[in-house]
Amino acid sequence: MTLGRNAAARELGISPQALGKAFKTGRVKQTPEGLYDVDLCRVALKLNSNPGKQASARAQQRPKKEANQPTAPPPLLSQAGKCVPREAEEEGEGGTSYSEAVRQREWIRFEKEKLNLEKQRLSLVELTPVNAYVAGMIMQAREELTRIPMELRDKLAQETDAIKCQDMLLDRIDQTLKKMSEFKPSPA
């Protein structure tokens, strides 16, 4: 159905000025007669509008809600664990619209802020220092463990009792493990 600017705007639920602005910016098109195809405009506005700006503009036009009135339902989480607006979930959008791109960008921002918060709470740590610490500990353990045979070879060679040999080895391994539990990396 093709209508003039005022009637088309009324059908679309926006002001005539907003429809005129959408035409000037190329988000909607007019017919050669200067009329608007309402169905095409509705699709074009949905695909090429910034929902964040729409919400703030509508909020300025509407009277304030009372505190006890229900608010819009929160976004859904898809099976992949990603935040999906209810409209996109219900209509099965393919993710090619401007509003989908904005939603994805906002979700990425949310994830970054969440990671930063977890870092501040010390739930997460930087991987590089942890890897360096573990690598230092492994090198120290290797050095300590390879020293055991050289330190005990003469004592073990003189001992004929297998149980005493085992006790000497276990004692030396326990000393090494205790030393490793007190490992402090050397200052870089």
Check residue 94 and give its pLDDT. Answer: 52
Name which residue leads in pLDDT, 86 or 112. Answer: 112
Residues whose CB falls within 8 Å of the CB of residue 144, separated by 6 or more in sequence, listed in order: 176, 179, 180
Name which residue leads in pLDDT, 40 or 118. Answer: 40
Most confident of 44-53, 64-73, 104-113: 104-113
Backbone φ/ψ region at 109: left (φ over 0), alpha (ψ -120 to 50), beta: alpha
Query: How many whole angstroms separate alpha carbon 28 and alpha carbon 26?
Result: 5
| CB crowding 103-126: b at 16 or more within 10 Å, else e | beeeeeeeeeeeeeeeeeeeeeee
What average pLDDT does this structure show over 77-83? 50
Residue 102, token pair as written in the block: 């904005």
Name which residue leads in pLDDT, 62 or 98. Answer: 98
Lowest mean pLDDT among 56-70, 119-133, 164-178: 56-70
Model confidence over 130-171: pLDDT tens digits?
888 888 888 888 898 899 989 999 999 998 999 999 999 999
Query: How many whole angstroms separate alpha carbon 51 and alpha carbon 9?
Result: 18
Check residue 129 and give its pLDDT. Answer: 84
CA 186 to chain centre: 35
Check residue 44 and give its pLDDT. Answer: 86
Query: How many whole angstroms separate alpha carbon 78 and alpha carbon 34?
Result: 42
What average pLDDT does this structure show over 122-127? 72
What average pLDDT does this structure show over 36-52? 82
